[in-house]
Structure 1
Amino acid sequence: MEEEKLDDLISSLPFEIQQRVVSLMPLKEAVRTSTLSTFWRSLWSPIQVNLNFDPNPIIHEGSGQDVKQVIGMFLRSYACPEQLKLNLKVTDHTNEELVVKATKGVDQELHLEFFETQKVATKTCLYLRSNPTQNANFFGVKLLHLRSVANLSKPLVAMLFSNCNVLESLRLEKCRGLESLEVETESLQSLVVEDCSDMAAIVVSAPNLKSFEFRGALPQIDIKKTVSLVNAVLNLRDGPGSNQFECEDVLSILASLKDVEVLTISGWLLEWLCWGGVIFGRLAFKFNKLRELSWTDSVINKEKRDSLACFLNICPSLVKLSVEIQSNLSFIPSPFFHQYWHEPHLWMDFTTVKSNTSELEQLKHVDLVGFVGKEDELLLMGLLLEKAIRLNSLTIV
């Protein structure tokens, strides 16, 4: 009853004051008020604009001016929360429609959603490059979260955000049909790519990149010119996908991450390399700065246990190790390799593996999650206890 009285009271206020009330709320909470009553929904009646849209030349300089002008006018004031519904009629032979829903808040917040009338089964690429000589509506964007960017919305996204010269954080999520990503900017510090099931290649040229996270099926990853990368996540829970790789391809990815201090990696990838005959201690690079390592997989068996032991030989500065068994993960079988680099060390007995494992002189903390006391798990625990001569804590969850 009290809520109804309050709603009636607010409904009787002038429209400008009603908008002011909404503007004092966080944007997500303000948007949710549209479900309360007809009155609240009236505050969120979107500005509707219909435009023609050519997805082919829009990424070229001078094109897409109508779209830029409409969004530019929409963003001129953040005095109150507003919504824009931009209906873009595709002018090519497909006669499809792209709908862009933009919601802005008073604290410089902007959320964009893309809706396509048809799901086009076409794989696309996304290029985001900064251009200091040009200005744009989104020139000052520092954090960008793109979700479900598909075939038609991809060129529009590239047009709007290619001049984000101060972009610091980029996140791509569930962009199915997106086959490759290329980012070139000096300002980028964080990049997250998650659940983009068709992603086959990621190329990043960002000297100030500090954090890189990938979750999905293994793509080709090329990180260039970075000197600041501290944290890396390779959560390859979907295995290798449909991509074809050789040992050299995977090792080039690891080599680009060799200076990180914190690394999360899927255990099957290390096992895969070891089945190919790779012995980590014989490589030309080490993870000399790595202080925290998180290893995840669906199970601990002999091959995974010995692969982890081999990888620890190139982690001389490791302080904390977390080994997590996640039963909900799928088992990823190792592929067949036509030739080996060396005699595979996975054929060795455990006594030999243990004797070949380096002393873990800096390792002080070990967390074991999901262990149930199987033989290979116990042997790994014994190996860590023997090699970590300065171990302070061993936690089993």
Structure 2
Amino acid sequence: MEEEKLDLISRLPFELQQKIISFLPLKEAVRASVLSTHWKSLWSPIQVSLNFDPNPINHEGSVQEFNQVMGMCMRSYACLGQWKLCLNVVDSNEALILKATKGVDTELHLEFFETKKVSRDFKSEPTSTSACLCLHSHHPTQTDSFSGVKLLHLRSVTNLTKTLVSEVFSNCHVLESLKLEKCRGLESLDVKTDSLRSLVVADCSNMAAITISAQNIKSFWFHGALPQIITLKNTRSLIDVVLNLKDGPISNEFDCEEILSILFSFKDVEALTLSGWLLEWLCSAGVIFGRLDFQFNKLKALTWIDSLINKDKRDSLACFLNACPLLEKLSVEIDSNLSTIPCPLFYQYWHEPHLWMDFTSVTSNTSQLKHLKSIELLGFTGRDHELQLMDLLLEKAIRVNSLTLTCPEFLS
């Protein structure tokens, strides 16, 4: 076999190759395509050209034609497939490119590409309707092409294509997992479906408002700039929340009441990830977490992330721990690659100032962490404020049985 360099995989019938690769998760199946020249042909996209009218008033025909083509693509989940759609913009010599990758496990990935010279005139729609992505489930019809999609990943949805996406995917009545990535043309997201279990919004730099109504959602992960509005309705099943606000706030306005309202909607989660600058800003404005009307009484795992630990961040974390009486695991992640979000000057209108105390006072005002058993300090450099935080945690966590310190590579 080695002398003749036989490729047994390539000799298999095409249908059998498709059947074999269909047993793999989509990500692994794509990787497996490099094993054989013939397997690469399994991923040769079917190319289709369509006319596309971006005007919401006139594009009903575009939506119907798009549904028909994608209906052919989504007809069967028995095999993997990839489609490349060229959406020729009406009254323009340019086009939009859509790459659709379908997995066998009711999984669909869509990525949009704008050609460099797409006319910007098509983006001059009224702001109130130009950048909202609405996904509302309803009873499907026989013509619904996407009614069976359970996992949907949308990448690079722009202002030019958001209406098309909203109308098409409102038919996803069994959608369980939704991920939006680098959709910079979207300013708001409105999701209302009882089937949704997981929502991820990552690097959507203009996302200013998120509204979620999903009684079965368990996980909500957000990475990017803090939106002005996050509204959760009927999310009693939510247990895992990530607010990785690495890009700071999306606007210059910082409303303590609004932020506390967001935190209140997360008060019953079991796992929570927060950016350190958010707690620092709240504390700098005078918020004392231990005196709020609510606590995180079900929170078992807390992850705090930031670019560094200084005195103010150390003290704000200690203050927040007073609202987490049943915490079992605390992870502090120090990542020097993150941007530093400077804290503005606040007029303290909540309570008497409680930050800027000496370390002895901070320690005495921190509650006993009776249930904390595991502490992780990642990116630990051994600076004074990090050591003080470690001392504080070891003093207050009377039942801790695991302390893990991980240093950056440049210290190793």
Q: How does the TM-score come out when normalised to structure 2?
A: 0.85
Does the C-alpha gap of structure 1 residues 365 and 75 become closer, same or farther in structure 2, counting only changes over 3 Å? closer
- C-alpha deviation, 1:363, in angstroms: 1.3
Between the aligned partners of 2:3 and 2:44, the Cα distance in structure 1 is: 23
On the 8 A contact 2:52/2:62 being kept in 1, the answer is: no
- Deviating more after overlay: 173-182 vs 308-317: 173-182
Between the aligned partners of 2:326 and 2:297, the Cα distance in structure 1 is: 6
Does the C-alpha gap of structure 1 residues 79 and 387 become closer, same or farther in structure 2, counting only changes over 3 Å? closer
For residue 218 of structure 1, what is the amino acid of its counterpart?
A: L
User: Following superposition of structure 1 onto structure 2, how do residues 91-130 of structure 1 map, counting pairs within 5 Å?
Assistant: 91=90, 93-94=91-92, 96-104=94-102, 108-118=106-116, 124-130=131-137
Does the C-alpha gap of structure 1 residues 231 and 125 become closer, same or farther in structure 2, counting only changes over 3 Å? same
Between the aligned partners of 1:155 and 1:101, the Cα distance in structure 2 is: 17
RMSD of aligned residue pairs (Cα, Å):
2.9
Equivalent of 1:166, from 152, 168, 174?
174
- C-alpha deviation, 1:378, in angstroms: 2.0
Match of 2:206 in 1: 198
Query: Would you say 1:379 and 2:377 are equivalent positions?
Result: no
Match of 2:154 in 1: 146
- C-alpha deviation, 1:40, in angstroms: 6.3
- C-alpha deviation, 1:150, in angstroms: 1.3
For residue 223 of structure 2, what is the amino acid of its counterpart?
A: R
Does the C-alpha gap of structure 1 residues 395 and 281 become closer, same or farther in structure 2, counting only changes over 3 Å? same
On the 8 A contact 1:298/1:330 being kept in 2, the answer is: yes
Between the aligned partners of 1:243 and 1:309, the Cα distance in structure 2 is: 26
- C-alpha deviation, 1:349, in angstroms: 2.1
Q: How does the TM-score come out when normalised to structure 1?
A: 0.88
Query: Would you say 1:392 and 2:392 are equivalent positions?
Result: no
- C-alpha deviation, 1:333, in angstroms: 0.7
Equivalent of 2:323, from 314, 320, 339?
314
Q: Residue 6 of structure 2 aligns to a residue in which SS?
A: helix
- Deviating more after overlay: 245-254 vs 24-33: 24-33
User: Following superposition of structure 1 onto structure 2, how do residues 32-47 of structure 1 map, counting pairs within 5 Å?
Assistant: 46-47=45-46
On the 8 A contact 1:362/1:390 being kept in 2, the answer is: yes
Summarize deviations over 1:171-230 as a string: whole Å, max 9, x none.
111111221111111111111111111111111111111111111111131111110111
Query: Would you say 1:208 and 2:208 are equivalent positions?
Result: no
Between the aligned partners of 1:310 and 1:328, the Cα distance in structure 2 is: 26
- C-alpha deviation, 1:113, in angstroms: 2.9
Between the aligned partners of 1:30 and 1:380, the Cα distance in structure 2 is: 46
Does the C-alpha gap of structure 1 residues 301 and 140 become closer, same or farther in structure 2, counting only changes over 3 Å? same
On the 8 A contact 1:49/1:85 being kept in 2, the answer is: yes
User: Following superposition of structure 1 onto structure 2, how do residues 353-372 of structure 1 map, counting pairs within 5 Å?
Assistant: 353-372=362-381
Summarize deviations over 1:90-113 as a string: whole Å, max 9, x none.
22x555422223344555554433
For residue 6 of structure 1, what is the amino acid of its counterpart?
A: L
Match of 1:20 in 2: 16
On the 8 A contact 1:277/1:344 being kept in 2, the answer is: yes
- Size of the aligned set, in residue pairs, is 392
Equivalent of 2:251, from 238, 242, 245?
242
Summarize deviations over 1:269-295 as a string: whole Å, max 9, x none.
100001101111121111011111111
Unaligned 5+ segments in structure 2 are 124-129, 407-412
Equivalent of 2:304, from 288, 295, 298?
295
Between the aligned partners of 1:38 and 1:371, the Cα distance in structure 2 is: 47
Query: Would you say 1:54 and 2:61 are equivalent positions?
Result: no
Match of 1:178 in 2: 186
Summarize deviations over 1:289-320 as a string: whole Å, max 9, x none.
11111111111111111111111111111111
Q: Residue 347 of structure 1 aligns to a residue in which SS?
A: coil
On the 8 A contact 2:106/2:148 being kept in 1, the answer is: no
Q: Residue 345 of structure 1 aligns to a residue in which SS?
A: coil
Does the C-alpha gap of structure 1 residues 18 and 203 become closer, same or farther in structure 2, counting only changes over 3 Å? same
On the 8 A contact 1:59/1:155 being kept in 2, the answer is: no
- Deviating more after overlay: 98-107 vs 287-296: 98-107
Does the C-alpha gap of structure 1 residues 354 and 63 become closer, same or farther in structure 2, counting only changes over 3 Å? same
